[in-house]
A and B are shown apart, each in its own frame.
Chain A
Amino acid sequence: MLILARKKGQSVQIGAQVRVVVLEASKDFVRLGIEAPPEVPVYRSEIYAAICEENAAAVTSKKALESLKNKAPAP
């Protein structure tokens, strides 16, 4: 992992199109501003991970769906 020290108001350029600015910083909290083109989605990492996980869990197939529909009612 690349580690850079930045002060409030300074920024990091990632590639040609993404810029991350430190807007506010305290002991255990930073507020970041992110400039990125619309096709580059930005997520909080934990939300991103949770949605990936939930989508993967929700994946099913037509075949599985048919057996779900025909399954006897749960007790």
Chain B
Amino acid sequence: MPEENVFTFPAGILGLSESLTRFELIPLEENSPFFFLQSVQDEDIGFILINPFAFFPDYEFELPDEEAAALQVKEPEKELAVFCIVNAREGLSRATVNLLAPVVVNTAARTARQVVLQDRRYGLRHPLPRPKPLGGGPSSLKDPAPGGADGTPARAGAREEGSKC
């Protein structure tokens, strides 16, 4: 496993065992806004993540100072990438996105935290915008959302918008 894709969540992930602190971030397909966050410690634990800016171009938030400190951020614009957790329990066509508690990653320090926003615009279950129903077979996962994925995220989904924090 390439170590460079492994991130440490010092605080773990809410709702999971606190001992699960190491996760590998894997792009699902090349140039896709979809990623998979795989626990290094438990192969049955993982999350589907998206680059939120590919689906919600107006998504923005302020990263609280204490979160930035905990992430050991030195140069926010270079280091930070933002992902959101997808809940596809009801199938991909009814998938929802957690915009209230994004996963913020420091690509330099290899640390990550799920940050809970104090922002009434965002909730736990926003419908994942989809250009068409799941009918295109396996490849449909990589279809970008309408108006979304110009500029495919570079490394680990980092985009300019990620630095609005």
Contact = CB atoms under 8 A, between A and B. Distances in A.
Interface stretch (B41-49, B52-60, B73-81, B147-155): B41-49
B87 A65 contact: no
Given A39-B70, A53-B15, A71-B91, A60 B46 contact: yes
B135 interface: yes
B13 A55 contact: yes
A26 B11 CA distance: 35
Nearest to B87: A58
A51 to B, nearest CB: 5
Interface string A44-67: 000110111111111111100100
Range class of the B interface residue count: 35 or more
B47 A58 contact: yes
Given A68-B92, A71-B91, A73-B133, A58 B85 contact: yes
A15 interface: no
A68 B91 contact: yes
Interface in B75-132: 85-89, 91-93, 98, 100-101, 114, 116, 124-125
Interface of B: 10-11, 13-16, 36, 38, 43-48, 66-67, 69-70, 85-89, 91-93, 98, 100-101, 114, 116, 124-125, 133-135, 137-138, 140-141
Interface of A: 38-39, 41, 43, 47-48, 50-62, 65, 68-71, 73-74
